[in-house]
Structure 1
């Protein structure tokens, strides 16, 4: 998979995350690892920062549930409007985490 194809794969996966659910940067990388050979949460974060404006970027958080740095207020508002389970400083990952093979 070329770097451009990986960017597209990340963005395509993020578009599939259902409303009210989230994936971690590492979860996105892990879901694409078999096809891409890449497993870097940092790379996914960079892709989201550079190219994620047209996808539901607010649904990608850290593995601890922290919201996208520098965009916490907007991400929290968007996730709250979607009914995502929130906690004090982010998302309750145990209730909000989604995986591509999940049924919903």
Structure 2
């Protein structure tokens, strides 16, 4: 399996996550046609250039939480971007029943 193939598909899916919605790493992998490759989605996002327009901040973990350490600058940035889009947090979790995007 060529890494470029699945990276391109991950980016395509992430690029389609609508404002005000989130997807999980596993959900992105599944929608891209690579189930059980959630960690690869995380690695893919780590390599994004600083000036990328991809809405990386809309990808969170399966518990509805931001994966960066709480309180870190990256955590604060991601949370702020999500809140700016109207996404709410309860106990540092995004209520997935309200905000999860499943590709529809």
Q: Normalised by the size of structure 1, how large is the TM-score?
A: 0.84
Provide the alpha-carbon RMSD of the alignment. Answer: 1.7
Equivalent-residue separation in structure 2 for 1:60 and 1:14 (angstroms): 8
Q: Paired residue for 1:19?
A: 19
Q: Gapped runs of 5+ residues in structure 1? A: none
1:20/1:85 contact within 8 Å kept: no
Alignment of 1:82 with 2:85, yes or no, is yes
Deviation of 1:38 (Å): 5.0
Which stretches of structure 1, 4 residues or more, deviate above 6 A after TM superposition? none
TM-score by length of 2: 0.84
CA deviation map 1:29-88 (0-9, x unaligned) = 11122xxx5531111111111127511111000000111315211111111110113222
Alignment of 1:33-48 (within 5 A): 33=33, 37-48=34-45
Tell me which protein shows more helix as a share of its residues. 1
Q: Which residue of 2 aligns with 1:51?
A: 48
